[in-house]
Structure 1
Amino acid sequence: MRIITLNLNGIRSAAKKGFFDWLALQQADIVCLQEIKAQSAQLTDSLFYPQPYHCYYHEAEKKGYSGVALYARRQPDALQMGIGWVDIDCEGRYLQAQFGDLCVISLYMHSGSSGEERQALKFSFMARFLPHLQELRNKYQHVVICGDWNIAHKPIDLKNWKGNVKNSGFLPEERAWMDKLLTETGYSDAFRVVNPSAEQYTWWSNRGQAWAKNVGWRIDYQIISDNLQAHVKQAEIYTTQRFSDHAPLLIDYAF
């Protein structure tokens, strides 16, 4: 099974850059997308419902903002649009699908880089989300949470870590939260199961020559229940083409 996750930074923009042509060649079973920046009424073209997928969109109330999507070859046994928290669901940040004993989530966690208010909301979400993840772990045999988590976990996960220890996305509190997630709640970072290498990034600032110099951050993850570690066979960050300021993360599972 191949699962892909990508923050599109605008689905219509990514489409113009060839995203759907590329996707058609990937033979993915499930595709999780974030920051679609579009309302359903703006996605009526068949391009946004590629075959052979069942396509689901959870949009933000604010136009041109946030929103997540999930495509699946198999129709889900159950679908949950939103997490059930008004402040989160109005921004379209969570979409959950169940396939038998497998639960897959498309997640777009907040960025706190725009100011203290947004960082406070991010911390609030994190505090509520950890117990929710524990509940999922108890409810489903297998769990995969795909998305833009807006946190670089360790110094290996961003180029200039020393200069970012006071910046959102690499704050000590955020990294400690990721530590707890990955050591105490029964979850693992699927990419690191098979790839321990440095300079593996999924996002690059549009400022300066960040992309050209590979000055990036690894903030897009597939976080999996621990019992899936042995099923992770291959992980790739695709950088040959650019559809967004993020890169697609492709992981192949043997199940």
Structure 2
Amino acid sequence: MSTTITTVNVNGIRAAVKQRSEVNPGMLAWLTQTDSDIVLMQEVRASEKQAREALQPALDAGWHLAMSESVVKGHAGVGVLSRTEPQDVRVGFGSDEFDATGRYLEADFDAEFGPLTVASLYLPKGAAAPTDASTDKEAEKFEEKKRFLDGFGAHMTALARRRRHLVIGGDWNIAHAEADIKNWKGNLRSPGFLPHEREWVGARLDGGWTDVVRALHPGLDGPYSWWSWRGKAFDNDSGWRIDYQLANRSLAGRATKAFVDRADTYDRRWSDHAPVTVVYE
């Protein structure tokens, strides 16, 4: 038996579920078609009550929702949709600064192959490295992301020691390597591709975690999972691969298939991110 897990930044759950046109029925239609057992959501940007209202048809159909909303209204928010109810849910990673900001949620399940913990992560976007021309807000966003990376990195180190199957899926807001961003030369100073960010991801991969999508697609540019709404980025596949599933050693070897559920055309998109799915046998 297998467990199929998807991660997707929904870019606002209330917008994602709306039928935008005849050819774009939205996320609810996608949920009726997916084979996924668990869907990790980021940037829900709604209270739990609002998210449940938006997802009510899916919940009526048997999906279960666990959520961590942000104390800042309409900002961040992560959730776990699952076909079976979680055995336990934990909000945050022990951070006084970030646990109430809707950026991290863990849920435990009993998978066919043993105890499984899944986590949904929405890592801060950050900002470019501060210069004399930077605003105070830009400098603070840069430092905020560094603080998150420090705290969450320690949490991942502790998680890696656990024996149960573990996967952290989400919008990591970091393209780790040149193969993970189409225009890498033009983004060397952009947040999400800064040296210290890429080194941080590398340290996680050296510390017991596997980027299972990359492991199943070695030597391939992409597959990208985010494209700007602007211009021809989507049509030209000029994207970023920033939506990862990082699995610990006990689970990584069970990943047999991974794919990005990229919309056929621009007008069929219900988020600026595409769902990233991995099958674990």
Tell me the TM-score normalised to structure 1 length.
Answer: 0.94
Structure 2 gaps, min length 5: 20-25, 128-136
- Say if 2:230 is the partner of 1:207: yes
2: CA distance between counterparts of 1:194 and 1:134?
23
Matched with 1:218 is 241
CA distance in 2 between counterparts of 1:31 and 1:50 reads: 16
Per the alignment, residue 130 of structure 2 pairs with none
The one-letter code of the counterpart of 1:249 is V
Match of 2:9 in 1: 7
- Decide whether the 8 Å contact of 2:89 with 2:108 is kept in 1: yes
Offset of 1:74 from its aligned partner? Answer: 2.2
- Where in structure 2 are the equivalents of 1:150-161 lying within 5 Å? 150-161=173-184
Secondary structure of the residue that 2:148 maps to in structure 1? helix
Question: What CA distance in whole angstroms lies between the structure 2 residues aligned with 1:44 and 1:235?
Answer: 28
Overall identity of the aligned pairs, in %: 40
TM-superposed CA distance for 1:23, in Å, is: 1.2
Matched residue type, 1:223: L
Show the 5 A alignment for 1:47-126: 47=57, 49=59, 51-100=61-110, 101-113=115-127, 115-126=138-149
Q: Aligned Cα RMSD in Å? A: 1.5
For 2:253, what is the secondary structure of its paired residue? Answer: helix
Task: Find 2:269's aligned residue among 236, 242, 250.
Answer: 242
Residues 146, 7 of structure 1: alpha-carbon distance in 2 compared, 3 angstrom cutoff: same
* Among 16, 19, 23, the residue aligned to 2:18: 16
In 2, the alpha carbon distance for the partners of 1:154 and 1:30 equals 27
1:224-247 CA distances to partner (integer Å, 9 max, x unpaired)? Answer: 002323211111101124110111
CA distance in 2, matches of 1:50, 1:210: 36
1:140 Cα deviation after fit = 3.9
Q: Structure 2 CA distance, aligned partners of 1:125 and 1:144?
A: 19
- Contact residue 193 and residue 229 of structure 1 kept, 8 A: no
Distance (Å, rounded) in 1 between the aligned partners of 2:188 and 2:57? 41
In the TM superposition, residue 44 of structure 1 has moved relative to its aligned partner by: 4.3
CA distance in 2, matches of 1:153, 1:210: 20
Structure 1 distance, partners of 2:171, 2:233, is 19
In 1, the alpha carbon distance for the partners of 2:212 and 2:99 equals 26
TM-score scaled to structure 2, two decimals? 0.86
Give the 3-state SS of the residue equivalent to 1:210 in structure 2. Answer: coil
Partner of 2:194: 171
Deviation string, structure 1 residues 128-168 (Cα, Å, up to 9, x no partner): 11121111121342110010000000000001101111111
Quote the offset at 1:48 in angstroms: 5.9
Matching residue of 2:254: 231
Alpha-carbon separation, structure 2, partners of 1:83 and 1:119: 20
Query: Secondary structure at 2:246's aligned position in 1?
Result: strand
Q: Please tell me whether the aligned partners of residues 260 and 274 of structure 2 are also in contact (alpha carbons under 8 angstroms).
A: yes
Three-state SS of the structure 2 residue aligned to 1:146 is strand
How many pairs align?
Answer: 253
Amino acid at match of 1:43: A
After superposition, the Cα gap between the structure-2 partners of 1:165 and 1:50, relative to the gap in structure 1 and judged at 3 Å, is farther
Counterpart in the other structure of 1:129 = 152
